[in-house]
Amino acid sequence: MAATLGAQPRQQRTWLRAPKFLLAIPSFVWYVFLFVVPVCLVIVNSFGRKVTGSPGKVDLSSPSLDRYHEVVSGSFASLLKQTMFTSILGTVLCLLISLPVAYLLAFKVGPKAKTAVLALLMVPFFANFLLRTLAWRIVLQPRGFVSNFLQSGHWFTFGQALRSGPIQILDTRTAVQIAIVYNYLPLMIFPLWVALDRVELHLREASKDLGANRIRTFLQVTLPLAGPGIVAGLILVFVPLSGDYVTAALLGGAKGNMIGAEVANQYFKAQDAASGSAIAVSLIISILLVLGVLATCFWFISKLLKANRAVAVVAR
Amino acid sequence: MNHSDDTTRILISKQAAQRVAATINRRRFLALGGGAAALAALAACGSSSSSNTNASQNSGGTEPKKFAKNLNMFTWAEYDDPDLLKSWGNISLTIFNSNEEAIQKLVQGGGSSGFDMVVPTGVYIPQLAKAGMLAELDKTRIPNFSNLDPAYANQTWDPGNKYSVCKNWGTTGWIYDTTIVKTEIKTWADFIKVAQTEASGKTSVIDTPPNLAGIYFWANGIDWTTEKTEDLDACAKFMVNEFAQHIKAFDSYPGVNLTTGSYALSQVWNGDARQGLLSVKEAKDDPSRYKWGIGTPVTELWMDNWCILKSAKNVDAAYDFINFILDPANSVKDLNFHGYNTGIKGVDALAADIDFKDMVFFDDAQVATMRSGAVNSAQEKIVKIYSDVKAKAGG
């Protein structure tokens, strides 16, 4: 055994070993050509202007910030603001709903129940995203079963207000908000669950042994340790949500429109790639701004939690 | 030692542990990656095998008159009777919502869009032809072309039917729910007034730029092909500031939403309105609850057309299909499905007993009020109005 191993010349093996970055090449190529290059093109195009009569072409002979000026001054600014509001509210709702679910999954349910709950969370993914969103049209339509049930009278007194007429939720911002939370919820639950699951039981036990109550343990041990997972969940939900336009296109009507639809609109209807690019870049900037604010908030919160620690950790 | 535990335990130094852990992780990554690659390969096999069958069917047509009845068509929604298409052969439909969108997608895809046929509205044909997208038609391969009423051939936007053959034509009006809208709508001005009052927030408009701007022009006695700056500015001002906030949805096919009760008032194409009323009837509801009206004092006249793309792979099949659909017996089936006049000689006699016939065929007085649109220098502004109205409605 030892002899055969020794027979292999060590020098040659090192030479044969592939460089470490080799495995990264496929994803590197993929990202550069299908992400970095197109995004750069979009950024470049946003400084040009539309060529009348030839759809999709951009005139870059006199680059200017005119398209951005149009975005800021036109009706797009308010639409962008609305989109950001919808996305932030949607992300916060996702977090508030997911946190208890992930907590239960990680700490409170047995292994069998855990598998069952995880399976139930996965089941909706067997149906296509578009189909799941379209299904909300059936649920929310004014003459749909929910509306009919609410009006039928077999309902509690607090349904009185709803009974006055068919529910008018479809084709509004509310419909988009409901469906968006529904569509992105699993993207929040899974990272949160994984993060909480990693918080080892003995750390929480130690916290209790040292005299912290449940709330204190949650705030000062569990939550900080799960912090990276929460951040991942927030980003995973917020970023695609801001650019989502399928949900808005299917359920939003005129009122629930989102900025992503306007990008598509500029490219496909207005045949104006320059304006479409400028709106897209504005969206990216808005997302980065919100994420920047979020990062500052987290930094502040972690400072606050550390400052309120009952036990000081002294480094030796 | 507990051998049933399949965790590998290794006693090594700290530095070595890092290397070993990295190697194990890399192996696991490769194993996972291999699994994913296998899945991808499987998926690729699935799609390639289906395209292979298509290719073999196509290449089977080495003899001159033999070809596979396969077509990829780029067209509007709810526009072709699926049973009729099936009786001809295998047609896969891809849907667009507006001519602008169709042109953008075709031009951007270059010759590689993969479509054989497209169904654009007449006034957009010059733009498509100029972009080199359309094939010139060989009329000797369409013997049934003679069945078409001459009134619907040789249009100004395609003299001599060089690129296109009429599929059908239609017009624009409105449909409203009389249980909500009590005012009778007689003109486009009434339409605007009701949309701003009784049906505010419950009104849908057709999701194309010219139709949206058209509402203002038709209501105010302005030619909707106007290129005058003051007309366009007035339209923009009114639609953005006084109309946008009342719109519930931009929906080119409100007919299918009739049974769901989504809108109280809709701007609608005649065929779609008819399809909506038919579905109300099918749901055992009372269609008389809804009132259809053709736009007055003037309204739109549009004609959609069969065109073969220059990049078409199934050219023989495309000619065969156009010839098939121009046969009066097939044309009437198609008409009964989409509810638009196909312009075939004698099709009105064949369609004598269809439901809501008055929504398909119009008398001379009505036809006299219909105006053809145009793609001209105003197009950019019309699209801008549409974009601004959309942004305003959502913002």
The ipTM value here is 0.73
State how far the Cα of A66 lies from the Cα of A44, in Å rounded to an integer.
13
pLDDT value of residue A10: 55
Q: What is the pLDDT of residues A162-215, one digit of tens each?
A: 556 777 888 888 999 999 999 999 999 999 999 998 888 888 888 889 888 888
State how far the Cα of B3 lies from the Cα of B209, in Å rounded to an integer.
73
Sites in chain B below the pLDDT cut of 50: 1-2, 4, 29, 32-63
pLDDT value of residue B44: 44
pLDDT value of residue B69: 92
Domains, chain A: 68-154+161-307 (1.10.3720.10)
Range among A9-23, A217-231, B117-131 rated most confident = B117-131
- Say whether domain B170-301+371-394 belongs to CATH 3.40.50.300: no
Is the Cβ of A260 closer than 8 Å to some Cβ of chain B?
A: no
The nearest alpha carbon in chain A to B98 belongs to A269
More confident residue, B205 or A121: B205
Other C-beta atoms within 10 Å of A23: how many? Answer: 14
How is residue A58 written in tokens?
A: 């951009």
Q: What is the pLDDT of residues B1-55, one digit of tens each?
A: 445 455 556 666 666 666 666 665 555 545 544 444 444 444 444 443 333 334 3
Q: What is the pLDDT of residues A34-85, one digit of tens each?
A: 999 999 999 999 999 888 767 678 888 889 999 999 888 877 888 899 999 9
Environment class of B145 (CB within 10 Å of its CB; exposed 0-12, middle 13-18, buried 19+): middle
Which of A171, A244, A275 would you mutate first to test chain B, the one with the most B CBs within 10 A?
A: A171
How is residue B102 written in tokens?
A: 């169709």
Q: What is the pLDDT of residues A274-286, one digit of tens each?
A: 999 999 999 999 9
pTM to 2 decimal places: 0.76
Can you name the CATH fold of B70-169+302-361?
A: D-Maltodextrin-Binding Protein; domain 2 (3.40.190)
| Nearest to B387, CA basis, from A304, A279, A20 | A279
Give the torsion sign (CA, A119, A121, A124, A126).
Answer: negative
Is the Cβ of B381 closer than 8 Å to some Cβ of chain A?
A: no
Report the gap between the CA of A249 and the closest CA in chain B (Å).
10
State how far the Cα of A311 lies from the Cα of A313, in Å rounded to an integer.
6
pLDDT value of residue B47: 41
User: In chain B, which among 215-244 make CB contacts under 8 A with chain A?
Assistant: 240, 244
State how far the Cα of B308 lies from the Cα of B311, in Å rounded to an integer.
8
pLDDT value of residue B52: 38
pLDDT reading at A9 higher than 70: no
Is the Cβ of A30 closer than 8 Å to some Cβ of chain B?
A: no
Task: Give the pLDDT band (50/70/90) at residue A1.
Answer: very low
pLDDT value of residue A272: 86
| Domain range annotation of chain B | 70-169+302-361, 170-301+371-394
Q: Which residue stretches of chain A are H helix? A: 2-7, 10-16, 25-31, 37-45, 66-73, 76-103, 111-122, 129-140, 145-151, 160-163, 173-198, 201-209, 214-217, 223-243, 246-251, 259-268, 273-307
Is the Cβ of B374 closer than 8 Å to some Cβ of chain A?
A: no
pLDDT reading at A16 higher than 70: no
pLDDT value of residue B39: 47
Residues of A whose CB is below 8 A from B250: 253-254
Neighbouring residues of B94: CB distance < 8 A, sequence distance ≥ 6: B72, B73, B74, B75, B115
